[in-house]
Amino acid sequence: MSDIAQLEQDLLSAVGAAQDEAALETVRVSALGKSGSVSALLKTLGGMTPDERKAKGPAINGLKDKVTAAITARKDALATAALDAKLASETVDVTLPVREAPADTGRVHPISQVIDELTAIFADMGFAVAEGPDIETDDYNFTKLNFPEGHPAREMHDTFYFPQKADGSRLLLRTHTSPVQVRTMLSQKPPIRVICPGRTYRSDSDQTHTPMFHQVEGLVIDKSAHLGHLKWILEEFCKAFFEVDNVKMRFRPSFFPFTEPSMEVDIQCRRGKDEIRFGEGEDWLEILGCGMVHPNVLKNCGLDPNEYQGFAWGMGIDRIAMLKYGMNDLRAFFEADVRWLNHYGFRPLDFPTLAGGLSP
């Protein structure tokens, strides 16, 4: 066997044995590179006689062509094999169910849902939403709301205070959303119709109380507001929120420093083994407090009580959420348990409306 034939056999065997493109490139460089074996043979053609060039030239050029073609074919085969392996490793089983989109798997927390429901109901009655800071002054949280010095609510065991400042004053975490009412009366002229939803804080914790909870308060101030208006608003709210046609309410005398007269409101219900139904039954359940705004509060907010009057009410958002949706432990609201949220949560695109229905 001639040297050219032997070289051809060796090179074609090396090309066929290359297992990846890196090994194939090594074979190509050793054969066709600047210092490769085939390139060395091509360089010898220049020093040959015409007869030798005629005899060996076709063989040497044929060797180059065969090696080049073999390398190209092997490269294509390796690329095809690599693609097949990748496709095999990334196979999609079309028999599996399609994964749900985030909008389908995500859930709105019941507190957020109930706030949206409250907003929809009261907006339909012409109320705006007012908000204020969670960190308040003693003046806005207590003094302007007619809480006297020494009132139990001002004590450390009921209220979260910040450290004293150099002037002796202390900020606190608001114990109700009533400071928002104060800020509204100080910044707006009557008539005023607002609801004030938000977080509140008190030093209390058990199955039905948490140190942080949510309240919504309502405020109406004008020249002719009276208890008849308050009763109608609360009745319409309860019918819309609990989604019943009729509801009976009982107003009992009570005391709050910021209202006079003050009342607590009970709603008719029927207690079952695992549920409470409203608008029927023989039982009563307290749901909120209300009353006419105290003249001292109006004075403290720069309004003349001889010209203006109004009423206010407040209720726990967490509490009415528990009543409506059958939750028995307030602490679960804040434990961030995904299983609980999947059970009690709401789909994010199910916006509550009075026309379309509050709860999905």
Binding residues for Mg(2+): 260
The CA distances from residue 223 to 2, 129, 139, 145, 310, in Å, are: 119, 21, 26, 20, 8
CB 225 within 8 A of CB 311: yes
Length reported for the chain: 360
CA distance 40 to 25: 18
Find how far residue 349's CA is from the centre of its chain: 12
- What residue numbers does the annotated binding site cover? 260
Query: Bridge-partner residues for 86, per DSSP?
Result: none
Q: Is 22 exposed, middle or buried (0-12, 13-18, 19+ CB in 10 A)?
A: exposed
DSSP element (H, E) containing 115: helix 110-124
Residue 164 DSSP symbol: P
Residue 321 C-beta-side C-alpha neighbours within 13 Å: 26
